[in-house]
Structure 1
Amino acid sequence: MKGFGVLDFTALRYFLETADSQSIRQASDRLHVAPSAVSRKIAKLEHDLKSKLFERRTTGMRLTAAGIILAEQLRSTVRNLDRVRWQIAELEGLKRGEVSIHCIEGVVENWLPRHIARFKMIYPEINFRIAVMSTDRIIEALMAGDSDIGIVFFTSERPEIRVTSSQAEALNLIANPGHPLAHRRQVSLAEITQHTLVMPNASFGVRRIVDRHFSVAKLVARDILETNSIQLTRSLVRHGVGCTLLPHLSVERDLAAGLLTSVKLKDANMLATGIQVCTHRQHNLSAAAEAFLNTITPKPTAGSLGASD
């Protein structure tokens, strides 16, 4: 984009605010300027770039193809500037900073809060931004630079993603204590397929592992109730709607409270899963993110991820 270096910084800021809010009036409210000032800056930017950036519609401002390209570039620049700002602040030591984490639901009840609580005792001024989502979306966030650290169920290898630590864990049958299979010592997948199976959808790594093994074993579940949430999956199983296949990590609180029970699978070795802590190979972590990553990465002698109780 020729001439980008001499573009009006204020115009770029007004453009990005309008792109985010899809409204000149909302953008002007957030920027504390008159709507006419925002309109003039956007018009000047379009003139400088010799390209239309917005389609003006009655429903709001919609980005054109050129506008989408500019908005994506500016958002990336803003993220990089934020990282620089924190890195400069961290020259004084780990007094300030921010760590962005995208994680699966399985670690939000105990594992992740336990590590954050301990870290905050040492570095109370460091902030956290945490988003809970599926493994696929976590990888997307790492690739886009929206996350410092991703915590996922085992996923396929990608050259851009670095796995800093992992913890293997077998899947188990998880059921309400009143379920017909709940008091068995072991159970086969073939037996499980005869009962209602409550599972997260295929965007979750654990579901893909189960589907892959069912396909290899030529098994078909009689009835599958699908969700987009591990929490909802657990809740449905607690209420006796069906059973599920999850690692203990995802249900440890319910198991401890006696609300759910766990049964080993005869096919346990075929259904091994677990969690991985990941970063992007080409994205430099801030000192705060690097420090937190070190706290959740076990030493070589540790038996499992987060085994520092």
Structure 2
Amino acid sequence: MHASVLKYFIEVAACGSVRKASERLYVAASAVNRQIHKLEDELGVELFDRMPNGLRLNPAGERLLKHAQETLHQFQVMRTELDALKGERTGHVKVAAMDSFFEELLPSAVEEFLQLFPAVTYTITSTQPMEVAQMVMAGQADVGLTFLGRLPGGVRAMNVAHLPIGIVMPPGHPLASFDTVSLKECTKYPFLRSSSHPVISAASSPEFASFWDDMEPAATCNSTPLLKRLIMGGKGISCFSKIAFIEELKRGELLWRPFELEALNGLKVGIVVPTQRVLPHVTQNFVGRMARRLTQLEAIAATL
């Protein structure tokens, strides 16, 4: 049986749902469901009890789950041993990213990569958006994830995604009735600031930079999880891209509204890599996998 089929089966077993498994795998639910049925047809036995609230492994499924986990583990060990002979599956990946990417994209990418490249080590740094490109150019990071503005000459952006910043708020907030939100409207409510420095440069939007500098925030905190909790608790609104709040927006626990400013609505995020040096093979592989995940998150965010 193909490794990807076993991976689909293991994820469905863990989630108890084809839909939830498809979201974690970044694969269409129909494709996951098709592979599960194909697996059952090949084995001649059902693997799940179909319950009103989801799927539950039956005895045959539990036996296969044990086999699948052991098989995938041995498969990864074998791949590591073979590729180590070629020197292509070891190395060190250095990543610099703004804090929003630590909520979904980076954890998922690293977890997946650890399964495929268990010998690789990492240095992953959370930093301010405008510092990411500088770290990549200086060699402090191999790859960066950030908002894209005017980049320095030593770096280039790849796999750009339209994920602009907007206002995040709890359901029922007065700003939820607006299709777009002005900076002036934001000043009427407690604001939770993610940094004392603007998330984008004054050159990109002088109006936003002035708003950021002049406000008197209810709190300033560089931890996205803490700010998320404060927003959900009704302590204030904040300014973020959807990328940090995908799950909360899906569940309706938070709402997001775009700004009226064109400069902010056109803002993009992307993966930044150096132009003056060639990245090692394993780092290029990691970048490619992050690029695919960023494209998938962009598509999901567009529906929310």
In 2, Cα distance between the equivalents of 1:285 and 1:167?
Answer: 22
Q: Deviations over 1:168-222 (max 9, x none)?
A: 22322211224222344443333222222222225453475896234689x9657
1:304 maps to: 295
2:157 maps to: 163
**What is the total number of aligned residue pairs between the two structures?**
218
Q: Deviations over 1:258-309 (max 9, x none)?
A: 33222344446643323221122223312211121222335xxx99366699
Instruction: Confirm whether residue 295 of structure 1 aligns to residue 286 of structure 2.
Output: no
1:94 maps to: 88
Instruction: Confirm whether residue 250 of structure 1 aligns to residue 244 of structure 2.
Output: yes
Residue type of the alignment partner of 1:106: S
In 2, Cα distance between the equivalents of 1:155 and 1:125?
Answer: 35
Q: Deviations over 1:58-81 (max 9, x none)?
A: xxxxxxxxxxxxxxxxxxxxxxxx
Distance apart, 1:157 and its partner CA: 1.7
2:122 maps to: 128
1:200–1:230 contact (8 Å) kept in structure 2: yes
SS at 1:99 equivalent: strand
1:241 maps to: 235
> Structure 1 residues 135, 216: CA separation in 2 closer, same or farther (over 3 Å shift)?
closer
> Structure 1 residues 225, 274: CA separation in 2 closer, same or farther (over 3 Å shift)?
farther
Distance apart, 1:151 and its partner CA: 1.0
Unaligned segments of structure 2, at least 5 residues: 1-82
In 1, Cα distance between the equivalents of 2:209 and 2:284?
Answer: 40
Residue type of the alignment partner of 1:175: M
Larger % of helix: which?
A: 2
Distance apart, 1:154 and its partner CA: 1.9
In 2, Cα distance between the equivalents of 1:105 and 1:215?
Answer: 19
Cα RMSD (Å):
3.5
Unaligned segments of structure 1, at least 5 residues: 1-88
Residue type of the alignment partner of 1:253: E
Instruction: Confirm whether residue 200 of structure 1 aligns to residue 194 of structure 2.
Output: yes
Of residues 95, 107, 110 in structure 1, which corresponds to 2:101?
107
In 2, Cα distance between the equivalents of 1:216 and 1:133?
Answer: 21
Distance apart, 1:248 and its partner CA: 0.7
Residue type of the alignment partner of 2:165: L
2:204–2:263 contact (8 Å) kept in structure 1: no
Of residues 156, 159, 170 in structure 2, which corresponds to 1:176?
170
In 2, Cα distance between the equivalents of 1:232 and 1:221?
Answer: 20
Q: Which one is further off, 253-262 or 224-233?
A: 224-233
- Name the % identity: 19
